[in-house]
Amino acid sequence: MSHSLFDSILQPSQILSGENLRDRYHHIWHTDKPLKAICVLLPTSTQEVSDIMKICHQQLSPVVVHGGLTNLVGSTETSGHEVVISTEKLNLIEEIDTSSRTMTVQSGVILETIHNAAGEKDLLFPLNFGARGSAQIGGVISTNAGGLRVLKYGMTRQLILGLEAVLADGTIISSMKKIIKDNSAYDLKQLFIGSEGTLGIITRAILKLEEAPKSRNAAYIGFNSYDKVVAFLKFMDSNLAGKLSGFELIWRNSYEQMTSTSDAVRPPLPYDYNYYVLIESLGSHTQNDHEEFQNLLEHALENELILDAVMAQSLSDVEWFFRIREDVNNLVDFMKHDQHFDISLPIPLIGDYIAERYKSLKEIDGVEQVYAFGHVADGNIHFMIGKSNLSLELKRTIDHCIYNGLKSIGGSVSAEHGIGTHKKDYLELCRSTEEIALMKSLKAAMDPKGLLNPGKVL
């Protein structure tokens, strides 16, 4: 099809093609690889997205949506035959309602912009992860993003009250309500959350905001036994009564590497322990919460639940503590090639599962570095693996090493990143034949011509 078909519904400045595609790319980490696409369209409203889809539907043209392009599983890849819809001009914050505690946004608004706008009203949009400065809320919702505060506030799915999406044939499904409870028949927004743009194109959303916390405490804790990590999680969660907001586990060698590249990430605790936990709580009383947090740590030390602890004494300490965990460049920069993972498994089994993978990975020829860390309270562990070459054989050997064993323990090959193209081959390791068949029948019912993000997920 020709991009000129869109001339009747969009301004010339909203249609990029030919030479103008040179500066476009499909991923923020690959800005040197020019985008392959028929054109990039820049709609400014749900209606324009609908108009575009009506033309694509008639022309049987596949469509890929581009947001902040921070996706980690290839969900925004193109082959050259697709129309790309970029949400970058759908970037309005339409309303912040401080009484209902909601924010109404178009899908192209950047996550950090949402954080700042909520903060100005003493409110919080709690979803938070490293790519917040680039990720757009439409992509965040499409992938049901997780991040650092799922423990307290849930994943994206729990933070969306209203949603507007465009179906493959251009139909607008608008469920833009601020209400917290709505059991009036099927909750359609659940279909679009986490389906990576394969069932509809998200154009607007109503986000659930929280009252901004007034206190923030954090600490690094040292352990030698994984069982103690789990016991300490239970202890803190049961004593912090909903204030526990983060509980990140870092394996010793990952901690050593994360804290060795500059003074900005110097180690809060010495390299004496097998496991390091970064714990965070968010509360409403600066002084009381600090004392309570400190008392709990002292109690845990006295009872030998933990071996060592250092508590942040200032906001800059908190930032230092989180910088260590968040800046994965300190791991990746020293790798020749990298391969990363985002697995989910029952919390009690994590210690042994990861230990076995460390052992097996080291025996694979071509594997040079192995780092594990993650949102252990959510049962979600990331691996960053450095390797000597990009051969498919090595990639698959590493994949199998990490994924082998997940099925029998009820794990998942994707906790928060999604499936995209990168994990399609492994979907059946965590979903049954019947589940995948039902997914395909949903896809067929909602996008019978297979136009939306073709080749992704299923």
E strand or H helix at 439: helix 433-446
- Contact assessment for residue 244 and residue 279, using Cβ atoms and an 8 Å cutoff: yes
Residues 6 or more apart whose CB falls under 8 angstroms from that of 98 comprise 121, 123
Question: How many angstroms separate the CA atoms of 206 and 96, rounded?
Answer: 9
| CA–CA separation, 292 and 296 (whole Å) | 6
Q: Which residues 6+ apart lie within 8 Å of 320 measured at CB?
A: 264, 265, 266, 268, 312
Shortest Cβ 216–its own copies spacing (Å): 11
- Asked if 216 interacts with its own copies (CB under 8 A), we say no
238 or 316: whose CB is closer to its own copies?
238
Nearer to its own copies, 5 or 123 (CB): 123
Site for its own copies in 356-375 (CB under 8 A): 375
Q: Is 348 in the site for its own copies (CB under 8 A)?
A: yes
Which of 43, 70, 3, 11 lies closest to 172 in space, CA to CA? 43
* Shortest distance, position 243 Cβ to its own copies, whole Å: 6
- The one among 9, 10, 55, 176 contacting its own copies by CB under 8 A: 176
Nearer to its own copies, 55 or 172 (CB): 172
53 is an interface residue for its own copies by CB under 8 A? no
Residue with tokens 């400045």: 13
With contacts defined by CB under 8 A, name the span among 17-25, 77-85, 146-154, 217-225 that binds its own copies: 146-154
Please tell me whether residue 458 binds its own copies under the rule CB under 8 A: yes
Instruction: Pick between residue 40 and residue 289 the one whose CB is nearest to its own copies.
Output: 289
Among 20, 31, 58, 190, binds its own copies (CB under 8 A): 190
Under 8 Å between Cβ of 119 and 216 = no
Q: How far is the CB of 272 from its own copies (least distance, A)?
A: 26
* Nearest in space to 380 (alpha carbons), one of 238, 247, 217: 247
Rounded CA separation 290/382 (Å): 30
Candidates 427, 449, 450, 455: give the one binding its own copies (CB under 8 A).
427
Kindly state the smallest distance separating residue 458's Cβ from its own copies, in Å. Answer: 7
310 binds its own copies (CB under 8 A): no
Q: Does 55 bind its own copies (CB under 8 A)?
A: no
| Angle 156-159-163 from CA coordinates, rounded to 5° | 90
Cα–Cα dist 279/308, whole Å: 13
Exposure b/e, 255-283, CB count within 10 A at least 16 = b: bebbbebeeebeebbeeebbbbbbbbbbb
- Residue 181 binding its own copies, by CB under 8 A: yes
What does the DSSP 8-state code read for residue 160? E
Binding mask 73-112 for its own copies (x = CB under 8 A): ------------------------xxxxx-----------
User: Does residue number 184 form part of the binding site for its own copies (CB under 8 A)?
Assistant: yes
359 residue type, one letter: K
Q: Indicate the residue among 179 and 390 with the shorter CB distance to its own copies.
A: 179
Q: What ranges in 264-349 are assigned the alpha helix state H? A: 286-302, 315-326, 329-332
Q: Which is nearer to its own copies, 119 or 348 (CB)?
A: 348
Q: Does 385 bind its own copies (CB under 8 A)?
A: no
Closest CA relative to residue 372, chosen from 275, 290, 269, 284 = 275
Q: Which two tokens stand for residue 420?
A: 């995209």
- The window from 80-88, 106-114, 359-367, 434-442 that contacts its own copies (CB under 8 A) reads 434-442
Region near its own copies per CB under 8 A, out of 24-32, 108-116, 248-256, 419-427: 419-427
Q: How long is the chain?
A: 458
Asked if 309 is part of the footprint of its own copies (rule: CB under 8 A), the reply reads: no
304 is an interface residue for its own copies by CB under 8 A: no
Among 15, 114, 311, 430, binds its own copies (CB under 8 A): 430
Q: Which two tokens stand for residue 258?
A: 């994360």
At its nearest, how many Å lie between its own copies and the CB of residue 101? Answer: 8
Under the binding rule (CB under 8 A), the answer on residue 411 touching its own copies is yes
Please report how close the Cβ of residue 116 comes to its own copies at its closest, in angstroms: 19
119 touches its own copies (CB under 8 A): no
Nearer Cβ to its own copies (42/280): 280
Q: Near its own copies by CB under 8 A, which window of 106-114, 142-150, 323-331, 333-341?
A: 142-150
Element (H, E) at 357: helix 350-362
- If one asks whether residue 414 binds its own copies (CB under 8 A), the answer comes out as yes
Q: Which residues contact 432 (CB under 8 A, 6 or more apart)?
A: none
Number of residues that bind its own copies (CB under 8 A): 99
CA distance to 135, 232, 233, per residue, from 240 (Å): 31, 12, 10
Per-residue DSSP letter, 212:
P
